[in-house]
Amino acid sequence: MATRIKQVEIAAGDYMRVHWFPVRNYHRGRRTKQFRPSSAAQKKYNQKRRELHLRDLLHANFTDLDFACRLSYDGESPDIEAAHGCIRRFLRRLKRAYKRAGAELKYIYCTERGKHGGRVHHHLVVNACPALTDNPYFFRRLWNNGGLPGKSYVYAAPLEFACGRDGDYEDGGLTGLSKYIIYDKQKETDKQYSRSRNLVEPQVRESIGAISRAAVDRIVETGDLTDLAERYPDYDIYKTQIDSFDAADPGAPPMSGTFVTVFLCRKAMTYNITGNITGGRR
């Protein structure tokens, strides 16, 4: 069956990524029922897409003024179900405090069991409210050990958008955080993270036929992205990722071929791709 190239642009904050991948020319009609389970390669690809979507949510909604927090328990930690109740009560208190200060709360969090000792804890990304969060003890006082007896343990630090001076975004910053949340194996729930409803979704634009298979093949062979750089003059290209799936491979996803992803960041962002401060905050 003939294939064409689909282009997907996802813009989130100061970051953008462009995907090119083959799609079949399906005839119009009712979709048939799936009759086989997803292959290992397809599951890995789906997992990668979830990690990228979480990173896009973080980029679209938070800045380097906001916080990444780790909320843990003193003494014996509660079970997962009780911990879910603790974090939900904490978020309700946090939301009321923000509202009194004239701010709207945004958050993403996950609950997990630690690898060493099996202690339950929470990872939380939350927007700043200067009237409250400028106080270094604000989160600790409000967490109050989840409402349980004992001391209150909170680690809170500003979000990192750049990681290293070598320009490698894959091992740190929000990319590293999203990977940690998505790929962690210690969670005892199918839901990998929870989020507030007021988060802004990344901007997605899709098109078919905007680029030819021959053009994608040339990019794969030569690595020349001159045309893409001219199309996005306000962005720098900092990484290209190429994945190939062979239809003859028993682990290949249903749509085989070459998948190309180009990662870009805005030139006028707070941090450039070498980790140096470039200007004012966005």
At residue 222, the pLDDT reads 83
The angle, 0 to 180 degrees and rounded to 10, between the axes of the packed helices 40-61 and 173-183 is 130
Q: For residues 69 and 139, is the Cβ–Cβ distance under 8 A? A: yes
At residue 20, the pLDDT reads 86
Give pLDDT tens digits for 95-139. Answer: 999 999 999 999 999 998 877 667 899 999 999 999 999 998 999
Q: Are strands 107-113 and 67-73 parallel, antiparallel or unpaired?
A: unpaired
Q: Which residue has the tokens 């490698």?
A: 168
Global pTM value: 0.79
Q: Are strands 235-245 and 3-12 parallel, antiparallel or unpaired?
A: unpaired
* Whole-number Å distance between alpha carbons of 230 and 220: 18
Instruction: Break the chain down into helix, strand, coil percent, rounded to 5.
Output: 30, 30, 40
How far does Cα 200 stand from its chain's mean position? Answer: 13
At residue 272, the pLDDT reads 41
Q: Which residue has the tokens 């603790």?
A: 86
First to last CA, the chain: 47
* Whole-number Å distance between alpha carbons of 52 and 217: 24
At residue 38, the pLDDT reads 59
Type of residue numbered 267: K
Q: For residues 15 and 61, is the Cβ–Cβ distance under 8 A? A: no
Q: For residues 115 and 186, is the Cβ–Cβ distance under 8 A? A: yes
* Whole-number Å distance between alpha carbons of 262 and 241: 6
Q: Are strands 152-158 and 107-113 parallel, antiparallel or unpaired?
A: unpaired
At residue 52, the pLDDT reads 86
Give pLDDT tens digits for 259-275. Answer: 888 888 888 765 544 34
Beta carbons within 8 Å of 57's beta carbon, 6+ residues apart: 12, 108, 195, 199, 201, 202
If we measure between CA atoms, which residue out of 255, 280, 186 comes closest to residue 19? 255
Which residues of the chain, if any, have pLDDT below 50?
Answer: 1, 35, 164-171, 272-282
At residue 214, the pLDDT reads 81
At residue 270, the pLDDT reads 56
At residue 251, the pLDDT reads 52
